[in-house]
Amino acid sequence: MKSLCLSAAVLIALASAPAVFANDEPGDGTARSKVKPVRLVSFDGDREFLQTSSRLRVWRPEVAYTLSVDPAGTPTDCQLAERFRMNYVNDKLCEVLLKHHTFEPALDASGTPVEGTYDGRLNYLEMREKE
């Protein structure tokens, strides 16, 4: 009897799953609503990021981050995925990231530039190999 109830519950869950996912409307303000997301043109701050990290004694294999990008393609805000205990370290690393990224802005369905975000990851070993 338990297996029959469990099977019925699984079937109901599977049958209702497409209905849950169908509620993703295209204008919900997420990245899905962007016809063309933010595109990285260049990052030329490898050397400065390595120097700043060394000075601040950052001992991680990589740093993941999210940058907010305005309609002109300029990065305006930075959030590190794994923040450091000292806000000073977070702020200094973000300064370098904001200064050295160049983007093409996200575009909406009509081709108008809109705000967007960019998720990036810098690997220290890869940056050191470039030098």
108-122 pLDDT per residue, tens = 999 999 999 999 999
Q: Going by C-beta distance under 8 Å and a sequence separation of 6 or more, which residues neighbour residue 102?
A: 40, 41, 42, 43, 44, 73
What is the mean predicted confidence (pLDDT) over 92-101? 98
SS3 (DSSP) at 72: coil
8-58 pLDDT per residue, tens = 443 344 444 444 334 444 444 454 555 899 999 999 999 999 999 999 999
Q: Tell me what pLDDT residue 14 has.
A: 40
Model confidence at 5: pLDDT above 90:
no
| pLDDT band of 131, cuts 50, 70, 90 | confident
Kindly state the percentage of the chain with pLDDT values over 70: 74
> Which domains, and CATH codes, for the chain?
31-130 (3.30.2420)
- Tell me the pLDDT of the chain averaged across its residues: 82
Q: Tell me what pLDDT residue 115 has.
A: 96
Distance CA 80, CA 94 (A): 8
